[in-house]
Amino acid sequence: MELNIQENEAINKVAEIAQKTGIESYVIGGFVRDLALKKASKDIDFVCRGSGIALAEAVGKSIGSKVTVYRKFGTAMLMYKDHQLEFVGARKESYRSESRKPIVEDGTIEDDQKRRDFTINAMAININKENFGQLTDPFNGIADLKKKQVRTPLPPDITFSEDPLRMMRAIRFASQLNFDIDPDTFQAIKNNKGRMEIVSQERTTDELNKIILSEKPSYGFKLLFHSGLLHEVFPRLVALHGVEKREGLSHKDNFYHTLQVLDNISGVTNDLWLRWAALLHDIAKPDTKRFVKGHGWTFHGHEDKGARLVPGIFRGLKLPLGKQMHYVQKLVRLHLRPIALVKEEITDSAVRRLLYEAGDNIEDLMKLCKADITSKIDVKVKKYLTNFAKVEKKMREVEENDRVRNFQPPVTGEEIMAHFNLSPCKLVGEIKDEIKEAIMEGKIGNNQEEATQLMWEIGKRKGLARP
């Protein structure tokens, strides 16, 4: 079979240099897979008989591009217009049981294809003049693409025992491509799941993020769960699974509810951190679950407890602890607030407080709240969404009138100290807080004139004299 690479300028340029240098070369891996799937790809991997670094340096010299060399791994990378080109010499690998770092030796193109993770990534296209465009597919990757299945080239127990990260990659590719996993391959994941302990957290989390960014991430998480991998890499999420029943009353399965919320949010955003907020919004329900006789199951305070858990989860997964973590933490903490507004009469005061606390994240919070409506009763869902529309309308009106998003007090602490000739003290904070509360409750407007007048009144009540 031939796959058309004739019109790819980057490949033609590498083929030209490979011919001049006499280096036998192939395009391999993800680019070939995507080409067969008729998907665009800007990343092209080349494998050579000999030194991939030497070929990369020759290409870089020819086109005037900087070459980044990773001698430890025997690879090199450069940019050609909008394509990223990576070069490696054909290798064969062997592994030790206590490490996923391979012992690497020079090999043939066939050796290199054997060490690839999956058949759909083991296909190569010859770019040498005499066989240009010819597909080398020793493990029937094209057939697996047609079957929409992920399968290992070698016996899967060998593949996964040697490099356990490939188990996460199998599920990631299945999730991204909406493919099945070959039964023997899936069984091998179950058999070898304990080997994940030798994989670095950073690599594991990178694959987890890619699953979260899938079009329908619930599919990937269900594969992780049923294979047992989720129990190894994210046990706190597994704790959401299951339904308990007492006195004829049961609660919903919060694991599958969470996956539905994740799918719902993924339909409206590709933002990784908003998707993480969806994944973690109910994470503290196992910790807060209580059965109240005659009433049923409650998860009181799970939003606050969940927000407190977020930093530890991010730290454990080696996710960034800066603004991304604080963003997720805020959305987890606030995710019930708009729902509470839907259930009761919407007051300006409640809307002001929500706008103040959510700030510029209010739109994302509303997306999360809408995604959190997962009832199978269509009438109930439509009712909630209609009420959410009313809340959003009220938010626009309050914001236009009161400008409380990212609220800054009209009177600062420095101004209070100057007006009453005070040094920094608790009293200054109390005056500021009372002014803020008055604005939130709608007792005064969010402007300097009314805030200053209230400041004098508070000062008088507290026995402060004007200087």
DSSP string, 231-268: HHH-HHHHTT----EETTEE---HHHHHHHHHHHHHTT
Structure tokens that stand for 94 in this block: 């062997």
Distance of alpha carbon 205 from alpha carbon 281, whole angstroms? 19
Bridge partners for 77 per DSSP = 68, 86
Domain boundary at 210, 233, 256, which? Answer: 233
The answer to whether the CB of 434 falls within 8 A of the CB of 427 is no
Distance of alpha carbon 312 from alpha carbon 324, whole angstroms? 14
Nearest to 257 by CA among 276, 240, 235: 240
* Tally of domains within the chain: 3
The DSSP H or E segment spanning 11 is helix 9-21
pLDDT value, residue 395: 85
- Whether 53 maps to a domain, the answer reads yes
Q: What range does the domain containing 26 cover?
A: 9-147
pLDDT value, residue 345: 74
Note if the pTM is more than 0.85.
yes
CATH number at residue 214: 1.10.110.30
Cβ-based burial of 105 (10 A; exposed 0-12, middle 13-18, buried ≥19): exposed
Distance of alpha carbon 189 from alpha carbon 237, whole angstroms? 19
Q: Are residues 131 and 199 in the same domain?
A: no
Q: Are residues 68 and 180 in the same domain?
A: no
The terminus-to-terminus CA distance of the chain in angstroms comes to 91
- Whether 350 maps to a domain, the answer reads no
Interacting residues of 88 by C-beta distance below 8 A, sequence separation 6+: 45, 46, 47, 48, 52, 73, 74, 75, 76
Q: Are residues 140 and 205 in the same domain?
A: no
The DSSP H or E segment spanning 291 is strand 290-292
pLDDT value, residue 101: 58
Interacting residues of 406 by C-beta distance below 8 A, sequence separation 6+: 359, 360
Interacting residues of 395 by C-beta distance below 8 A, sequence separation 6+: 351, 354, 355, 362
Q: Are residues 61 and 165 in the same domain?
A: no
Distance of alpha carbon 457 from alpha carbon 451, whole angstroms? 10
Q: Count the Cβ atoms, other than its own, within 10 Å of residue 143.
A: 13
Q: Are residues 13 and 131 in the same domain?
A: yes
pLDDT value, residue 102: 57
Q: Are residues 133 and 82 in the same domain?
A: yes
DSSP summary character for residue 49: S
* pLDDT digit string (tens) for the chain, length 467 residues: 557 888 899 999 999 999 999 999 999 999 999 999 999 899 999 999 888 999 999 999 999 999 999 988 889 999 999 999 999 998 876 555 555 555 555 678 888 898 899 999 999 999 998 889 999 999 999 999 999 999 999 999 988 988 999 999 999 999 999 999 999 999 999 999 999 999 999 999 999 999 999 999 999 999 999 999 999 999 999 999 999 988 888 899 999 999 999 999 999 999 999 999 999 999 999 999 999 988 899 999 999 999 999 999 999 999 999 999 999 999 999 999 888 787 667 788 888 888 888 988 999 999 999 999 887 777 878 887 888 888 888 888 888 777 777 677 788 888 889 888 888 889 888 888 888 888 888 888 888 888 888 888 888 888 886 65
**Single-letter residue type at 418:** A
pLDDT value, residue 93: 61
Distance of alpha carbon 54 from alpha carbon 201, whole angstroms? 33
- Whether 287 maps to a domain, the answer reads no
Distance of alpha carbon 141 from alpha carbon 318, whole angstroms? 34
pLDDT value, residue 211: 98
- Whether 435 maps to a domain, the answer reads yes
Q: Are residues 31 and 86 in the same domain?
A: yes
CATH number at residue 32: 3.30.460.10
Nearest to 415 by CA among 432, 439, 437, 436: 432
Distance of alpha carbon 143 from alpha carbon 178, whole angstroms? 16
Structure tokens that stand for 305 in this block: 């407890």
